[in-house]
Amino acid sequence: MTTTATPIRVGILGYGFATATFHAPLVASVPGLQLCAVSSSQPAKVHADWPSVQVFDSTQALINSDTVDLVVVPTPNQTHHALAKAALLAGKHVVVDKPFTLTEVEADDLVRTADRQQRVMSVFHNRRWDADFLTLQALLASGVLGRVTQFASHFDRFRPQVRNRWRESGEPGSGLWFDLGPHLLDQALLLFGEPASLMLNLQRQRDGALADDGFHAVLRYPPLAGGQANPLCVVLHASALAAQPGLRFVVHGTRGSFTKHGLDPQEDALKAGLRPGSKGWGEDPQPGQLSALPEGAGPDAVLQLSSPAHRAGDHSRFYAGVRDAIAHGAPNPVPPHEAQAVMRWLEHGWRNAQWG
């Protein structure tokens, strides 16, 4: 998709971790987008990284500016609804960081507002463009595993110290379920659709934890078309106390299995100051292993071990998709109805969660 001669001017609300690590570098890497504004009470901090960017002293001043076409909302989760709605009402296109909102009702309200304002609104589910997930999508589409019966997705890290920040404060929208849960739910819904039920266990594992820092969710799926039994079970798991993380993905099917260790490398690369387009960007050093029966194999066939053709990840493809949706009417990279579905199950899990 070609870009327009006039770039889409992008303003980002706040200059915290999400902006500095993800949104600003990704926006700046996409032709046809111009990072032109940030709202922050620390202009020197912004200008140290982006000298030519205009800094507004409030979110509302940026939202009201005639110099901004697209507003990005990577602020604390409980502010997403109000700030995104204000931007839409000001006539701006909007990208909201995950989670979309805190409730499905808030998500529905934003979708209606975007429709009335005839503005593009998308949600930053960037993990759709992780290398391992792209590889897994292609693998499942090929049918090499047969019918999938078990799927487990882990996002484990080792962060033993509770930090003084809103993500760990115990306030609405804090905690690991609202932080990593949207990523894992979004990927599961893309692969398998909406489940029949979701059971969630939440934990406060670390000394002094105020918010959940571990979760284990089990999604059960309805019967297949024609009433055929569907034993598919999906497990989503995350922990802040995993010093030796295990598998990232485990997939079992009627013809084989796929296993994958390690997290996508893009976040660490961005933290190190690298940018999309640099040599080897998004290439996963641990592509995973496939064990599957050969095509057309008989009952006595032996499993074959291989490393499937793996895809390079690229989170900047999200913003390229947003650009094309605004400039050319191309498909939204994360359509609002898909983000609404994530919110539906995120909220359902939270309201019905067991602790311990």
State how far Cα 64 lies from the chain centre. 28
The rounded distance, in Å, linking the Cα atoms of 122 and 111 is 10
Rounded Cα distance between 40 and 80, Å, is: 16
| CA-to-CA dists, residue 139 to 187, 247, 292, 307, 309, angstroms | 14, 17, 11, 11, 9
Going residue by residue through the chain, which has 356 residues, state the pLDDT in tens, using 9 for 90 and above.
Answer: 445 579 999 999 999 999 999 999 999 999 999 999 999 999 999 999 999 999 999 999 999 999 999 999 999 999 999 999 999 999 999 999 999 999 999 999 999 999 999 999 999 999 999 999 999 999 999 999 999 999 999 999 999 999 999 999 999 999 999 999 999 999 999 999 999 999 999 999 999 999 999 999 999 998 776 666 668 999 999 999 999 878 999 999 999 999 999 999 999 999 999 999 999 999 999 889 999 988 767 666 778 888 788 899 999 999 999 999 999 999 999 999 999 999 999 999 999 999 98
Q: What is the pLDDT of residue 231?
A: 80
Which ranges of 200-281 would DSSP assign to H, the alpha helix? 266-271
What one-character-per-residue DSSP string does 82-144 give?
Answer: HHHHHHHHTT-EEEEESSS-SSHHHHHHHHHHHHHHT--EEEE-GGGG-HHHHHHHHHHHHTT
Give the integer Cα–Cα distance in Å for 212 and 82.
Answer: 24
Asked whether the beta carbons of 110 and 101 are under 8 A apart, the reply is yes
35 touches 12 (CB < 8 A): yes
Q: CA 89 to CA 63: how far, in whole Å?
A: 9
What domains appear along the chain, each with residue ranges and CATH number? 8-127+317-334 (3.40.50.720), 131-263+277-313 (3.30.360.10)
Q: What residues form DSSP beta bridges with 34?
A: 9
Question: What's the whole-model pTM score?
Answer: 0.94
Radius of gyration, CA atoms only, the chain:
21
Q: Can you name the residues that pair with 155 across neighbouring β-strands?
A: 238
